[in-house]
Amino acid sequence: MNATGSSETAPAAPRQAVWAVVRSDIGPLLLAATDAGVVNVVFHATDAVRDKALDRLGSRLGAEPVEAPDSPLLAEVIRQLAEYFAGRRREFDVPLDWSLITGFNREVLRELFAGVPFGAVVGYGDLAHRVGQPGAAQAVGLAMGSNPLPVVVPCHRVVERDGGIGGFGGGLETKRKLLALEGVLPEPLF
């Protein structure tokens, strides 16, 4: 029973997020953070993509995100992304807000974040096996496609068993650039 005597659970309190769009070697990235940590990274953050992502984020958090490029909540992830793209950072050490991810997807993404380092790749099936779900390679692919924290939680490091690079929500050219930055693939010629 809750305070009103009802057995219904109270709705979650709205959570505020701050956001900014930053330039990167792979195009503009929308970064959003809550008090708990970085909650969203969105590729190709044109005005239309940004607006759609912010509407979706606001709906999920229950409060409209506020543009705040100078927010201390974003400062560290902005700095670390700049270092990553400059080739001076191999792992991210920022608080992450995992609240947009649940169940199997959260388990898979946490394993990816903790267990697949810079310059390494893992197959979809191998990652499924790591979380105790052999045979769930397709579900791992879906988890990668729903990753709200790409680059920081490196879904670009998940590839096909036969050596193909697989799909990628940010587009295959973006995945190729990230893998080249990490030394897994040669730099694109143009």
Residue 26's φ and ψ, nearest 5 degrees, are: -110, 15
Question: Considering 155, 158, 178, 179, which one is annotated as catalytic?
Answer: 155
* 3-state SS assignment for residue 84: helix
Cα separation, 184 vs 110, in Å, equals 21
Cα separation, 2 vs 5, in Å, equals 5
Contact, 109 vs 145, CB < 8 A? Answer: no
Please tell me the number of Cα atoms within 13 Å of 82 on its side-chain side: 9
Contact, 128 vs 135, CB < 8 A? Answer: yes
Kindly tell me the number of DSSP H helices and DSSP E strands found in the chain: 6, 6
Q: Is 43 assigned a catalytic role?
A: no
Contact, 45 vs 29, CB < 8 A? Answer: yes
Cα separation, 112 vs 123, in Å, equals 11
Residues known to be catalytic: 155
